[in-house]
Structures are given as structure tokens and as C-alpha cells.
Amino acid sequence: MNIKRKIKPLLPSLREKKRYIAFEIVSEGQIKDISAVSRQIKDNSLNFFGELGLANAGLMVVEDCWNRDAQRGIIRVNNKYMNHAKASLALISAIDGKEALVRSLGASGTLKKAKDKYMAA
């Protein structure tokens, strides 16, 4: 008799909390490719956090929320590493060979609120 057991999911109170940080890119020319932005954010965060810190932060660029015209996007991060993520964004000096600054616009607990509040340009 083979009994398959399922692992119980974590209770919501035990899960790691996440925050959504809206950011804006100020650059010489328009940056159209979100993958270049995502790669630069991850590389810069890796240099700033280290591998263990980046894994704990759970940093992820939400690619569906990239606004090409306004040069705005959203990243998801663990709430304990929110200030570290903002600092790593501020240290970015170039994206895809173009000089660029990344400003954080604000943070929110839900993706919907972050979109409504910060993505409307």
C-alpha cells in the first residue's frame, strides 16, 4: 500500500513578506529593452548584496509592469531588504551602455497599489 503525502503549505503568517518598489530611469536616450534593465539591476544587486544577500532578498524585476514610454518599472523584494534594494538601485550608473540614473519612486505592499499609485505617468 503506497500512501502519498502532501506537504502542508506554510501559513500566511509564516511566509516571507514582500514589498514592491516602483522605480524610474532617467537616461540620455530611451531604454526599450526590459531585459537589459533587469540584468543591470540584478548584476548591481549581486555586487552590493553578495550571493547570499541576493538570495535572501528575493529580488525580482516584474517584467509585466515595464512602462517603456515613462521609463518606469517595479521590482519585488523581501521587506527586510527593502532599503538595501533601494540603495543598490541608486548605485546604478549605466544601463546598456547609456548613462542612466535609477530613482525609487516608492514602495507598496501589493502589486496593484504599486501600479495604481506609481506607474501612471
* Confidence at residue 5, expressed as pLDDT on a 0 to 100 scale: 85
Whole-number percent of the chain with pLDDT over 70: 98
The H-or-E segment that residue 64 falls in is strand 60-67
**What pTM, to 2 d.p., does this model score?**
0.86
> Is residue 59 classed as helix, strand or coil in its secondary structure?
coil
Give the span between the Cα atoms of 57 and 76, in whole angstroms.
Answer: 9
Reply yes or no on whether the pLDDT at 6 is more than 90.
no
Q: What digits encode the pLDDT tens for the residues 23-75? A: 999 998 888 889 999 999 999 999 999 999 999 999 999 999 999 899 999 99
Query: How far, in whole angstroms, is CA 6 from its chain's centroid?
Result: 32
CATH of 18-119, one of 3.40.50.300, 3.40.50.170, 3.30.450.40, 3.30.70.3250: 3.30.70.3250
Report residue 120's pLDDT band, with 50, 70 and 90 as the boundaries.
confident
DSSP-derived secondary structure for 20-43: EEEEEEEESS----HHHHHHHHHH
Domain ranges of the chain: 18-119
Q: Are 59 and 85 in contact (CB under 8 A)?
A: yes
Q: Are 18 and 78 in contact (CB under 8 A)?
A: yes
Q: Are 20 and 75 in contact (CB under 8 A)?
A: yes
